[in-house]
Chain A
Amino acid sequence: MMSARVFQLLVLACLAAALRAGGENYYHLMITPQSPVVEIGTNFTATCMIINTAEATADDLFWNLSKTTIPKEQYTKVNRSALNVTITVTSAGIEWLFCLCKKVSPYVVLNDGKFIHGIQLSKVYRLEKPENLSCIAVQEKTYISPYISCTWGAARHQSTHCSATYTLHVKFSSQTFKNSTCGNSARVRLDTFPNHMTLEIWVEAEDKLRTVESDHLKEDAGWFVKTNPPSDVKIFSEKSFPTSLLINWTQPIAKEYLRLMYDVRFRPTGSQNWTYVPLEDIAKDIQSFRLQDLRPYTVYVTQVRCKNAVEGHGYWSNWSTSATKRTPEDRPTSKPDLWMIVTKDDVTNQQQVQFVCKDPVFANGRITSFDMKIQAQKDKVTNESKSIPVNRSEADSSSSQRKITVLEQIHLTDRETVKVHVTAINSVGKSPEASLGLRQKTHAFAPVEELKVVSREGQLWLEWKPPSNAHVSEYVVEWVSDAQMDWQRENRNARHTAIKGNLMKFVCYSVSVYPIYSGWVGKPASAEAYLEQGAPLEAPSVNCKQGRNEAKLGWEEVPRHKSRGFITNYTIFYTSGTEKRNVSVPVNTTTYTLTSLHANTKYDVWIRASTVKGSTDGTRHSFTTLRYASGEIEVIVVGVSFGFLFLFLMIVLLCFYKKDALKENCWPQIPNPGESTIGNWSPDCPLKVRTHAHSVRCIAADCMTV
Chain B
Amino acid sequence: MNGHVRSMHFQQFMKPATTFLSLLLLMAVDSTRTVAASRDQGCGNSLQQTLKLTRLAQKESVDLIKTYKASQGELSELFCKMSMSDVPDPNISGMEPSERIVSMYTHLQAFFPHFKRVYEQQTDLQSPTSPLLTELSRVSARSELLASLINSFYQSLFPNLPVPEPPGGPTSLPPSQNIFQQKVYGCVVLKTYKEFLSNVSKELRTLKSKVCRWRIQINTLFY
Report which A residues bind B (CB closer than 8 A): 143, 172-174, 191-192, 194-197, 254, 256-257
Contacts and interface: CB of A to CB of B under 8 A. Distances in A.
B141 A191 contact: yes
Interface stretch (B53-61, B95-103, B176-184, B185-193): B53-61
Given A196-B49, A197-B49, A197-B149, A191 B56 contact: no
A192 B64 CA distance: 15
Interface string B132-156: 0000011001101100110010000
Q: Report, as a range, how many residues of chain B touch the other chain.
A: 10 to 19
Contacts of A143: 138
B131 to A, nearest CB: 9
A220 to B, nearest CB: 8
A172 B146 CA distance: 12
B52 interface: yes
A192 B137 contact: yes
Contacts of A196: 49, 52-53, 56, 149
Given A173-B148, A173-B149, A197-B149, A257 B56 contact: yes
B53 to A, nearest CB: 4
Contacts of B145: 172-173, 192, 194, 197
Contacts, number: 39
Given A192-B141, A196-B49, A174 B148 contact: yes
A191 to B, nearest CB: 4
17 contacts: A172-B145, A173-B149, A174-B148, A191-B138, A191-B141, A191-B144, A192-B138, A192-B142, A195-B52, A195-B53, A196-B56, A197-B49, A197-B53, A197-B145, A197-B148, A256-B58, A256-B59
Contacts of A174: 148
A196 B152 CA distance: 13
Interface in B37-57: 49, 52-53, 55-56
Contacts of B142: 192
Interface of B: 49, 52-53, 55-56, 58-60, 137-138, 141-142, 144-145, 148-149, 152
Nearest to B135: A143
B149 to A, nearest CB: 7
B119 to A, nearest CB: 12
Determine which residue in B59, B137, B141, B145 has the highest number of CB atoms from chain A within 10 A of its CB, and name it. Answer: B145
Given A173-B148, A173-B149, A173-B152, 7 more contacts: A143-B138, A172-B145, A191-B141, A192-B141, A192-B145, A196-B53, A196-B56
Contacts of B138: 143, 191-192
Contacts of A256: 52, 55-56, 58-60
Chain A: interface secondary structure?
loop
A191 B137 contact: yes
A528 B91 CA distance: 95
Contacts of A173: 144-145, 148-149, 152
A78 B51 CA distance: 69
B53 A254 contact: no
Contacts of A192: 137-138, 141-142, 145
Contacts of B144: 173, 191
A196 B57 CA distance: 11
Given A196-B53, A197-B149, A254 B141 contact: no
A172 B144 CA distance: 12
B157 to A, nearest CB: 17
A356 B12 CA distance: 108
A194 B53 CA distance: 9
A342 to B, nearest CB: 77
A174 B52 CA distance: 19
B70 to A, nearest CB: 15
A497 B53 CA distance: 66
Given A191-B137, A196-B52, A254 B148 contact: no
A174 B148 CA distance: 8
A195 B52 CA distance: 9
A192 B145 CA distance: 9
Nearest to A174: B148
Contacts of B52: 195-196, 256
Contacts of A197: 49, 53, 145, 148-149
Contacts of A194: 145
A513 B137 CA distance: 80
A406 B186 CA distance: 81
B154 to A, nearest CB: 14
Contacts of B58: 256
A143 B139 CA distance: 12
Determine which residue in A191, A192, A196, A254 has the highest number of CB atoms from chain B within 10 A of its CB, and name it. Answer: A196
Given A197-B49, A197-B53, A254 B149 contact: no
A309 to B, nearest CB: 12
Contacts of B152: 173
Across the A-B interface, give the 9 residue pairs with the lowest CB-CB distance, nearest first: A173-B148, A191-B141, A192-B141, A256-B59, A256-B56, A196-B53, A196-B52, A192-B138, A256-B55
